Amino acid sequence: MKKVLSLVLALAILSMGSMALAGELALITDIGTIDDKSFNQGSWEGLVMYAEEHGISHEYYQPKEQSNDAYLDSIQLAVENGAVLIVTPGFLFEVPIFMAQDMYPDTHFVLVDGNPNDGDWANGPEFRTEPNVVGIVYAEEESGFLAGYAAVKEGFTKLGFMGGMAVPAVVRFGIGFLQGAEYAAVEMGIEEVSVNYHYTGGFAATPEAFNLAASWYLDGVEVIFAAGGAVGNSVMAAAEDAGKWVIGVDVDQGGESETVITSAMKGLRESVYQAIEAYYNGEFPGGESWLLGADRDGVGLPMATSRFSVFTQADYDAIFAKLVAGEIDILKDGDLNNNLGNPDFELSVVTFTVIQ
């Protein structure tokens, strides 16, 4: 009996040690929640997938406000609760992670949609990624390009882009969308494509976003690319009333509304999962920045669930292959200094109107 009890006790101690080694996986939400049907949710799904497969405890924390201090408070709480790896989705975490990487050197961080920097954009920010951090950024301009290309190939010539906050990822989606529409129009010999272009300044569903989308649809816009988290819910509601179309963002949003014809996706779930897997395999890519584009399956359209009637899988495969091969040059946010009114940004067919 003593031998049996000793064996049970030893196994219990071993199990407790393994649990301590595993620790907790945590996610701190950006503006929004883990069910935003966008980048918070996509990142959370990747974390949950790995955690449940391997029996690891996991939790998310929602900051009380949008500020560096609030983000750092949530990070501190996660660390105090035993988090060994923390996922932070969103460009707004760049400065907090720049600080947290030094404050918590034994904690690992996966920064989605950015790379750590001190935020001093007036004098040129200091970028620094320590061995306990990996930054993951996506080629949103490629995903937006595919969405714009598909929209025009589908037959739409009156388009809209409604972004959330004008952070780099959202800007890349927008300018890629314009260039994709241009590429398809030139390819098809279309003489004119128009785009209404607007940033709401946030990522929430609001009456203002709904009303603006409704007015665009009333004026003849056929499809709106809603690249702003819950802003998409406002656009979808307007599209349902108008009998028009929406392009979703970040994840496959086709299940949210029958008005979603496709979604400009990026591999949030997959990349978060891979980063966590690397950590537990002792291969955490600390100090690195992953740039995930078409060549690494980091972006794409969900063709299996899209509601196209003209744009085909063959069309998609052909244009995607060109992106993978690097045959198409797409301007990025840095090329335009985030200013879509820049005269250097010239399109021969697409005319776009920036609406303040």
For residue 14, the model assigns a pLDDT of: 38
42 and 168 in a common domain = no
Q: For residue 338, what pLDDT is reported?
A: 55
pLDDT-based confidence at 67, cuts 50/70/90?
Answer: very high
**Separation between Cα atoms, residue 299 and residue 143, nearest integer Å:** 5
Among 96, 53, 55, 89, CA closest to 73: 96
Q: Where are the beta strands (DSSP E) in 170-271?
A: 193-199, 223-227, 245-250, 260-266
Q: What are 209-221's pLDDT values in tens digits?
A: 999 999 999 999 9
Same domain, 205 and 305: yes
Closest CA to 347 of 159, 194, 129: 194
> At 217, phi and psi to the nearest 5?
-60, -40
Are 127 and 231 found together in one domain?
Answer: no
Q: Please check whether residues 288 and 350 belong to one and the same domain.
A: no
Choose the weakest-confidence range: 33-37, 56-60, 127-131. Answer: 33-37
* 56 lies in the same domain as 66: yes
Structural domain range at position 225? 140-250+300-354
C-alpha dihedral (40, 260, 290, 48), degrees to nearest 10? 40
Residue 130 lies in a domain: yes
345 and 244 in a common domain: yes
- Total domains in the chain come to 2
Question: Token digits for 323?
Answer: 């992106």
User: Is residue 281 one of the residues assigned to a domain?
Assistant: yes
DSSP 129-172: --TTEEEEEE-HHHHHHHHHHHHHHHT--EEEEEESS--HHHHH
Domain-located, residue 23:
yes
247 pLDDT higher than 60: yes
Q: Is the pLDDT confidence value at 121 over 70?
A: yes
Q: pLDDT at position 31, please? A: 72
Task: Categorize the per-residue pLDDT at 22 as very low, low, confident or very high, splitting at 50, 70 and 90.
Answer: low
Locate all alpha helices (DSSP H) within 23-165, ordered by sequence.
39-54, 68-80, 94-103, 140-154
Instruction: Say if residue 82 is in the same domain as residue 169.
Output: no
Q: Do 246 and 343 have their domain in common?
A: yes
Establish if 261 belongs to a structural domain: no
pTM for the whole thing?
A: 0.84
The yes-or-no verdict on residue 7 having pLDDT over 60 is no
Handedness of CA 143, 271, 75, 130 (dihedral sign): negative
- Burial category of 246 from C-beta neighbours within 10 Å (exposed 0-12, middle 13-18, buried 19 and up): buried
pLDDT tier, 156 (very low <50, low <70, confident <90, very high otherwise): very high
Tens-digit pLDDT profile for residues 295-326: 988 999 999 999 999 999 999 999 999 999 99
Is 349 within a domain? yes
Which of the 8 DSSP states describes residue 212? Answer: H
In a domain, residue 44? The reply is: yes
Do 72 and 162 belong to one domain?
no
pLDDT at 174: 94
Task: Kindly tell me if the per-residue pLDDT of 20 is higher than 60.
Answer: no
Among candidates 255, 251, 254, 274, which has minimal Cα distance to 264? 251
The pLDDT value given to residue 297: 86
The CATH number given to whatever domain includes residue 130 is: 3.40.50.2300
Same domain? 69 vs 183? no
**pLDDT value of residue 83:** 97
Q: Band of the pLDDT at 343, cuts 50, 70, 90?
A: very low
Of 1-10, 283-292, 338-347, give the range with the top mean pLDDT.
Answer: 283-292
Kindly indicate the confidence band of residue 39, based on its pLDDT and cuts at 50, 70 and 90: confident
pLDDT attached to residue 339: 60
Lowest mean pLDDT among 28-32, 106-110, 340-344: 340-344
Is 332 a domain residue?
yes
Report whether pLDDT(340) > 70: no
- pLDDT band at residue 167 under the 50/70/90 scheme: confident
Cα torsion for 44, 95, 208, 213, to the nearest 10°?
-60
Structure confidence at residue 173 as a pLDDT band (50, 70, 90): very high
What count of other Cβ atoms lies within 10 Å of the Cβ of residue 309?
9
Per-residue pLDDT tens digits for 88-108: 998 899 999 999 999 999 999
262 within domain boundaries: no
Burial class of residue 332 (count of CB atoms within 10 Å of its CB; 0-12, 13-18, 19+):
middle
Mean pLDDT is lowest, of 12-21, 73-82, 124-133, 325-334, for: 12-21
d(CA 227, CA 248): 7
Question: Looking at the structure, do residues 133 and 145 belong to the same domain, yes or no?
Answer: no
| Residues 132-156, mean pLDDT to the nearest whole number | 97
pLDDT score, position 17:
39
Same domain, 32 and 117: yes
